[in-house]
Amino acid sequence: MATRTRRPERREEPLSREGIVEVAIELLDATGEGGLTFRALGERLATGPGAIYWHVANKGELLGAATDAVVAAALAVEPAGSPTSPQDEIRAVALGLFHAIDAHPWLAAQLSTQLSRSPWGSVAPRIFESIGRRVRSLGVPEDSWFTATSVLVHYILGAAGQNAANTAHARTLGPGANRAEFLDAVSSAWEELDPDDYPFTRAVASRLREHDDREQFLAGIDLALTGITAPHPPGEQAPTPPTT
């Protein structure tokens, strides 16, 4: 008796670019950039690659759209409490990006790619605008807006990216790996360094054992904000340039 091949279930709702990007993010989280193929995407969406190409031209465009979607959601995080200050809002934006980069292992590399190769795309201006508006609200003079915003953006993405790299490395150590044990081993190794060559590293080695990545990240934000606002405290008006 002949058997009939079972056809894949047909989609009940129309395919959309937003839906494709949402599933692409799920695939990236589960399998990384290498696992994001139009074939795998089509299987999850119960459609053919041709239907996906109608909405997204290629994998590069899809990666850019996925990155932009995750960043947009991260930047939408509101600070806790009320009323809030520009500093509170910058911390909320920074933490939103920190947690997004930690939650999506592929994001740090994509952000680096987007900011270095496609700074005219949507991702770089979105991040720069979100931080820059708050920097402007701090009373920073206009001629310092770009530098102050760049400092914060570089610190946020760099520190969050390093934290994500540490998390990814910890996963490679196996299910029995323990963060506290790993930090204790590193700290012990630092304490054994030559005291003449590494006096500072030995002095702070014990701090490594118990540090909290999130708290350390926020401490860095506060240090940057202190440096940015010190010459011009919030509420102080920048001097008016002399007229000629």
Per the CATH hierarchy, to which homologous superfamily does domain 82-229 belong?
Tetracycline Repressor, domain 2 (1.10.357.10)
With a cut of 50, say whether residue 208 has pLDDT above it. yes
| Span 31-62, pLDDT tens digits | 999 999 999 999 999 998 889 999 999 999 99
How far apart, in whole angstroms, are the C-alpha atoms of residue 105 and residue 56?
Answer: 23
Contact 200, 108 (CB under 8 A): no
How many CB atoms neighbour CB 174 within 10 A?
A: 7
Q: Which of 9, 81, 78, 19 is nearest to 46 (CA)?
A: 9
- DSSP string of 21-43, one letter each residue: HHHHHHHHHHH-GGG--HHHHHH
Global confidence as pTM: 0.83
pLDDT at 83: 76
Domain ranges, ordered by start, for the chain: 82-229
Question: What value, to the nearest 5°, has the Cα angle with vertex 215 and ends 202 and 150?
Answer: 95
